[in-house]
């Protein structure tokens, strides 16, 4: 029964995230700027909060069998990954202008590609 409930919760979470992602992609369909969906931002925030609370619970647990150094290392790996997701949402974008495409990377490095003689609608 416990496995069924966990599976149901996971499917529900994936479904809700998919609905938000579909709505977000429709917003930017007519724009000249391409960005990552807001789902990246919200998933990153939820993960940061979850893993921070998990780390606090592991460190303050009454059992002394849990080594706080190991829990710090494991939690920090997941926290860094979550922060990277948020950073990717905030920094990554592609902008299409009249005769060039401007691409900003994860680290905000700017790449400009010019295309002359091509037209788009």
The answer to pTM > 0.85 is no
Give how far Cα 114 sits from Cα of 70, 72, 97, 109, Å: 50, 47, 9, 17
3-7, 44-48, 51-55: lowest mean pLDDT where? Answer: 3-7
Q: What angle do CA 97, 87, 76 make, to 5 degrees?
A: 165
Question: What tens digit of pLDDT does each residue of 64-91 get?
Answer: 666 767 777 877 888 888 888 888 888 8
Instruction: Determine the straight-line distance between the first and last CA of the chain, rounded to whole angstroms.
Output: 54
Task: State the average pLDDT for the chain.
Answer: 76
What does the longest C-alpha to C-alpha distance in the chain come to?
69
């Amino acid at each position: 029964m416990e496995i069924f409930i966990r599976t149901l919760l996971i499917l529900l979470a994936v479904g809700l995230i998919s609905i938000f992602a579909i709505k977000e992609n429709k917003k930017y369909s007519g724009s000249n700027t391409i960005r990552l969906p807001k789902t990246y931002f919200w998933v990153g925030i939820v993960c940061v909060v979850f893993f921070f609370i998990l780390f606090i619970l592991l460190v303050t647990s009454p059992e002394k069998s849990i080594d706080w150094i190991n829990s710090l290392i494991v939690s920090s790996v997941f926290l860094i990954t979550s922060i990277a997701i948020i950073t990717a949402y905030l920094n990554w974008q592609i902008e299409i202008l009249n005769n060039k495409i401007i691409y900003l990377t994860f680290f905000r490095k700017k790449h400009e590609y010019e295309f002359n003689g091509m037209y788009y609608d």
